[in-house]
Amino acid sequence: MSTLEINDLRKSFGAVEVLKNINLSARSGEFVALVGPSGCGKSTLLSMIAGLESVSSGEIRIDGHLVNDEAPKDRDIAMVFQSYALYPTMSVRQNMTFGMECRGIAKSEQEREIQRVATMLQITPLLDRKPGQLSGGQRQRVAMGRALVRDPKMFLFDEPLSNLDAKLRIEMRSEIKKLHQNVGKTTIYVTHDQIEAMTLATRIAVMNKGVLQQYDTPDEIYRRPANMFVAGFMGSPTMNFLNATVVQGRMLRLEGAEGVLLPLPENAEVADGRSVVLGVRPEHFSPLVARRSVRKGLKSVPIRAFIEMLEPTGAETILMGRVAGQQVVLTCEPDEAPTENVEAEFEIDMDRVCLFDPDTQVRL
């Protein structure tokens, strides 16, 4: 059981600063997901925690102990790579014992550990194969097995599922979750799949361009994103951003030809005449006929949307359309979906919308 603390961490490659002032801490047993678009510095941060990249400034502490200059092997961590990085010339068994061998653990002890982990991951029949003779999912399991045998303080995962096909990815996702529940080790998990982050993590760190945007529970991140980047990055289809102006004290006028008026969300403190961005998630629209707000006792306002295109996915139908001339994407139950090229009536859950500052992009 161990904690991780990262204070004012920076990393530069030459003149390029790829991590800017990262502050992050993980409690013992926590599952932290690092998400962000490609190139935002997730892998770099993970490598620094592992000790594979040097620290430019700031500090990394494991269990309160400063590890900035400690070699990877002394940090007692295990890492699962996106490429799995299985040693190609060694059998699965040798892959798993290599770490113990380097640490001089007795053969009998090694064998016991192998059996324990192989049983847990159901890879016992594969122990004598070479990595080249395994399927993608099996390699993934072996890579996790290699991390598990040493019983390290902390697990680091770098996009471990991104090379698997969609179905296997979902299977392995729940297996990782089960594993974490069983083993209870502190885990840092890099992904750019926001669903993985939402389903697995106890806390999510959203990064963009080397800056930590928000670090909070999945629920908080989803409901109260710190800024438009986080709001847009988490959630699929992505959140709608509608330009609006505050009028008549407590009303919002959507910009566009028709000038639709909406009441301002209750807790919002914004001055009259100010421009804002109204953020509404696609699923927070619902067809008026479904009367969701009445059934669930939600506070809502009606709005008319012109529907241009339908994208049925089976479970839900995605609607592309316009509200007050601005592009929107909404989702609804397939049987409640209107037809294309009609103007349909929807309601918006006003408790769930966000307001952002159009200049700083921060949530108001």
Ligand X SMILES: Nc1ncnc2c1ncn2[C@@H]1O[C@H](COP(=O)(O)OP(=O)(O)OP(=O)(O)O)[C@@H](O)[C@H]1O
Q: Binder to Mg ion among 19, 36, 40, 43 (CB under 5 A)? A: 43
Q: Which of the choices ligand X, Mg ion, another protein, none does residue 279 contact, using the CB cut-off of 5 to 8 A by kind?
A: none
Q: How far is the CB of 162 from ligand X (least distance, A)?
A: 9
- Is residue 140 part of the contact set for Mg ion (CB under 5 A)? no
Q: How far is the CB of 329 from another protein (least distance, A)?
A: 38
Q: Which of the choices ligand X, another protein, Mg ion, none does residue 99 contact, using the CB cut-off of 5 to 8 A by kind?
A: another protein
Q: Which of the choices another protein, Mg ion, ligand X, none does residue 273 contact, using the CB cut-off of 5 to 8 A by kind?
A: none
For residue 148, give the H/E element and its range: helix 136-149
Nearer to ligand X, 38 or 182 (CB): 38
Per-residue DSSP letter, 227: B
Nearer to ligand X, 42 or 141 (CB): 42
- In the complex, which residue's CB is closest to ligand X? 43
Nearer to ligand X, 48 or 319 (CB): 48
Q: Please name the residues in contact with 222: beta carbons below 8 A apart, sequence gap of 6 or more.
A: 198, 234, 235
Cβ atoms of 156 and 50 closer than 8 Å: yes
Nearer to another protein, 154 or 207 (CB): 154
- Assigned token pair, 42: 């997730």
Residues, the chain? 364
Q: How far is the CB of 120 from ligand X (least distance, A)?
A: 28
Nearer to another protein, 50 or 204 (CB): 50
Q: How far is the CB of 83 from another protein (least distance, A)?
A: 5
Nearer to ligand X, 42 or 153 (CB): 42
Strand partners, 158: 190
Q: Which of the choices Mg ion, ligand X, another protein, none does residue 102 contact, using the CB cut-off of 5 to 8 A by kind?
A: another protein
Nearest Cα residue to 240 out of 311, 318, 312 = 318
Q: How far is the CB of 37 from Mg ion (least distance, A)?
A: 11
d(CA 326, CA 257): 9
What residue ranges bind another protein (CB under 8 A)? 47, 50-52, 71-73, 77-79, 81-83, 85, 87-90, 98-99, 102-103, 132-133, 146, 150
Nearer to Mg ion, 53 or 316 (CB): 53
Nearest Cα residue to 324 out of 339, 340, 346 = 346
Q: At what angle do helices 136-149 and 92-102 cross, to 10 degrees?
A: 20
Q: How far is the CB of 72 from another protein (least distance, A)?
A: 5
Nearest Cα residue to 324 out of 273, 237, 276, 258 = 258
Measured in degrees and rounded to the nearest 5, phi and psi for residue 159 equal: 40, 60
Q: Dihedral (C-alpha) 192, 196, 202, 206: value to the nearest 10 degrees?
A: 20
Q: Which of the choices Mg ion, another protein, ligand X, none does residue 44 contact, using the CB cut-off of 5 to 8 A by kind?
A: ligand X
Nearest Cα residue to 42 out of 233, 237, 220 = 233
Q: Which of the choices Mg ion, ligand X, another protein, none does residue 73 contact, using the CB cut-off of 5 to 8 A by kind?
A: another protein
d(CA 217, CA 27): 13
Q: How far is the CB of 232 from another protein (least distance, A)?
A: 31
What residue ranges bind ligand X (CB under 6 A)? 13, 18, 36, 38-44, 192
Q: How far is the CB of 34 from ligand X (least distance, A)?
A: 8
Strand partners, 330: 319
Strand partners, 331: 318
Cβ atoms of 236 and 324 closer than 8 Å: no
Q: In terms of DSSP bridges, do strands 16-26 and 186-190 run parallel, antiparallel, or are they unpaired?
A: unpaired
Task: Give contact residues for Mg ion (rule: CB under 5 A).
Answer: 43
